[in-house]
Amino acid sequence: MRYSRMILGLFGCVMSLGFAAARDEPQAAPPVHRQKFQRPVATYSIVARDPETGEMGVAVQSHWFSVGPIVPWAEAGVGAVATQSLVDPAYGPLGLELMRTGRTAPEALRSLLAGDEGRAVRQVAMIDAAGRVATHTGDRCIAAAGHVTDEEHQFSVQANLMLGEEVWPAMAKAYREATGDLADRMLAALEAAQSVGGDIRGKQSAAIIIVAAQSSGKPWVDRTFDLRIEDHPHPVQELKRLVQLQRAYLHMNAGDAAMEDADFETASREYAEAETLAPDIVEIPFWHAVTLASSGEVEKSLPIFKRVFAREPIWAELVPRLVDAELLPNDPELIEKILAQAPASNERSE
């Protein structure tokens, strides 16, 4: 039996601040209400595709509260978009819609810019599932503003309202030279931006989205990373911590899948890796032990239960409740064995 621990996010629709997407030909924007003044979601970001895995993503940091729902957009098998500066969030969903219907990233961006009267204050980058990339920095974006687009390495870095013009070249250099997976390399680009001054106002929030190369039809599966730091004095460092934690839970999910296939060796390896990545999360070994016990590997589960109960005895109280939920067998002898691993009450009080 596989135990899902994924929390499904509910994402609301974002209304456009004022343009219509062009299809085959540029179309006039319909009359809409425009704000008289738009504050800049000034920021630096990267859109990228990993040529080896096909994964695509966006990473961003800004001195703006909760940048995650505004700037980064991505869909498995389609592409990724970063929309910023005096931002129109609609570039995200509309860009993905155009790429989903077969437009390349450069074609999608050109179409949307043609229908946007405010394009001079926009900064937008798009990459599609084939690695084609396009970027626009409007000539009225607040300085320092600019971008580097690298078709060979399939990424674009872009920034506005920066302390200096060193930011986006530093990001590009860091991404090209970084090792690790796509998340590691995109985070390296964000750190490089901050190392040369970053946003002139400072830092406040950050986000990362990474999606699979192909769509499974299940967006909650396709988003391997979808993490946000809403308000923090060191948002990228906190984002790196959450990326590490997410990796642990990805290994837990892989362990669960291996248990379903009775591949105990792989499951044990995946669970061990999860615990290594997140040693302070007691819940990870707890569910490892539950999975082993429910799959008939009781003797392997008992030392893990003992270790968990020694650290946090409250987890022993959860064990009997898992029977009614059919996460543990209705076997009183088994439950007694598991509970016997908990410290005695006098040991808990010492």
Q: Are residues 277 and 217 in the same domain?
A: no
Q: Are residues 102 and 222 in the same domain?
A: yes
**CATH number of the domain that residue 257 is part of:** 1.25.40
Q: Of 185, 204, 233, which one is at a domain's C-terminal end?
A: 233
Q: Which 3 state secondary structure label does DSSP give 238? A: helix
Asked if the structure places residue 30 within a domain, the reply is no
Q: Are residues 126 and 226 in the same domain?
A: yes
Q: Are residues 261 and 151 in the same domain?
A: no
pLDDT at 31: 32
Asked if the structure places residue 23 within a domain, the reply is no
20, 29 contact by CB (below 8 A): yes
The residue that leads in pLDDT, 75 or 267, is 75
Asked if the structure places residue 15 within a domain, the reply is no
Q: Are residues 338 and 253 in the same domain?
A: yes
pLDDT above 60: residue 22: no
Residue 275: CB partners within 8 Å, gap ≥ 6? 248, 284, 285, 288
Asked if the structure places residue 31 within a domain, the reply is no
**CATH number of the domain that residue 61 is part of:** 3.60.20.10
Segment 206-246, tens digit of pLDDT? 999 999 999 999 999 999 999 999 999 999 999 999 999 99
Asked if the structure places residue 289 within a domain, the reply is yes
Q: Of 186, 206, 233, which one is at a domain's C-terminal end?
A: 233
Segment 119-144, tens digit of pLDDT? 999 999 999 999 999 999 999 999 99
Q: How far is CA 163 from CA 17, 34, 39, 141, 171, in A?
A: 27, 29, 18, 14, 14
Asked if the structure places residue 125 within a domain, the reply is yes
Angle ∠(184,273,3) on CA atoms, nearest 5: 105
Q: Are residues 120 and 163 in the same domain?
A: yes
pLDDT above 60: residue 29: no
Q: Are residues 75 and 200 in the same domain?
A: yes
Q: Are residues 309 and 164 in the same domain?
A: no
Q: Are residues 262 and 128 in the same domain?
A: no
Q: Are residues 225 and 293 in the same domain?
A: no
Structural domain boundaries enclosing 228:
43-233
Residue 186 and residue 171: Cα distance in Å, rounded?
9
- Domains in the chain: how many in total? 2
Asked if the structure places residue 109 within a domain, the reply is yes
Segment 71-129, tens digit of pLDDT? 999 999 999 999 999 999 999 999 999 999 999 999 999 999 999 999 999 999 999 99
Residue 258 and residue 272: Cα distance in Å, rounded?
13
| pLDDT (average), residues 44-71 | 96
Q: Are residues 83 and 198 in the same domain?
A: yes
Q: Are residues 83 and 177 in the same domain?
A: yes
Dihedral sign, Cα of residue 47, residue 53, residue 55, residue 61? negative
